Amino acid sequence: MNSIECFNLSKTYRGKGESKEALKNVSFSINSNGVFAIIGKNGAGKTTLVRILATQLMPSSGTAKINGLDIITDEKKIRSQIAILPQEAKPVPWMNPRQNIFSYMLWRGFTPKEAIARADKAIKYMHLEKVAKEKNESLSGGMKRKVLLATVLASEAEIIFLDEPTIGLDPISRVEIWNIIKKLKKDHLILLTTHYLEEAEELADKIAILNNGRLVAMGTLEELRHKIPYQYSIMTYTKNIKKIRASLSGCKVVKGKEKTQILANKEIANRITTLLVKKNMVFSRSPVSLYDIFYYFARTEIGENDEEE
């Protein structure tokens, strides 16, 4: 079983006369295979965290362990066990997918014979046979991402870092990549960063929320739901709100032009739904989504959750 443990990881980038704290005392522990998603806004520190864990960047303070090996002192041993698909990576344009995977396998130290066998296996696994000998530059964005995923999964790495793997892809290509990640997670620990919340919801076994370099929450989706005061989301028409306003104390109301979202705990949600049924109003009720949880933590950081309607 694979593991990642962080102990007070911090990173400060120093420029000319100014410095930026990208990570602030991040600590967590993951001790099982599966997908661990890190979500956060642009600039939240996701890529910095991944680059530190993938031994590309030294932390300013703190440390981390990958399968029990220290990222500062055991980098060589760690690099045999990890692979990374960086944000905005592209396959080499003048090569074809097979050459791309083959050369990366050579870089990982496999003999040409082993490297070819691994490249062919990955191409088959990813259903890339039809494009295996086409130049990478002629492939679509989704196909290029599949080639890069095939490149990292052809390796022997047990821990794979995927930094925003579906950014800029159309919905169909995105679902294809999700399906591959779902297959991979059975025998890998995949650390995935994304700012697509539905991606984390779909794939992740555990989710961490980074905000301004701080780890503000972590757990399964269900655990995260219980870390905020609201567990249910009720959607109804904005015009209905006036008629039930008296029952909304203790809720968070997010008004839209046409529809309004009411966030509430179980007891209040039950009370409101009973009222909506009695008044014969159209509504839907569901557990709060990762979107709601994420926005709760993001707003708490900037003080917007202080006021409740």
Q: Which residues of the chain form contacts with another protein (CB under 8 A)?
A: 51, 54-58, 75-76, 79-80, 82-95, 99, 102-104, 106-112, 115, 135, 151-152, 155-156, 161
Nearer to another protein, 108 or 195 (CB): 108
- Please report how close the Cβ of residue 68 comes to another protein at its closest, in angstroms: 18
Minimum gap (Å) between residue 248 Cβ and another protein: 49
Minimum distance from residue 18 beta carbon to another protein (Å)? 17
**Residue 81 or residue 305: which is nearer to another protein going by CB?**
81
For another protein, the closer CB: 16 or 76: 76
d(C-alpha 122, C-alpha 101), whole Å = 8
The owner of tokens 């295979």 is 33
Q: What is the DSSP letter of 282?
A: -
CB of 55 to another protein, least distance (A): 6
- Minimum CB distance to another protein, residue 54 (Å): 4
Cα separation, 53 vs 44, whole angstroms = 16
Closest separation in Å from C-beta 37 to another protein = 19
Smaller CB separation from another protein, 36 or 296: 36
Residue among 86 and 229 whose Cβ is closer to another protein: 86
**Full 3-state SS string of 122-169:** HHHHCCCHHHCCCCHHHCCHHHHHHHHHHHHHCCCCCEEEEECCCCCC
> Which residues pair with residue 77 across a beta bridge?
none
d(C-alpha 89, C-alpha 104), whole Å: 14
Enumerate the β-bridge partners of residue 209: 39, 217
Looking at the Cβ atoms of 67 and 247, the one nearer to another protein is 67
**What order of strands is seen across the sheet that includes strand 259-264?**
252-255, 259-264, 232-237, 283-287
CB-based contact 199:174 (threshold 8 Å): yes
For 199, phi and psi rounded to 5 degrees?
A: -70, -45
What are 87's two structure tokens? 């944000």
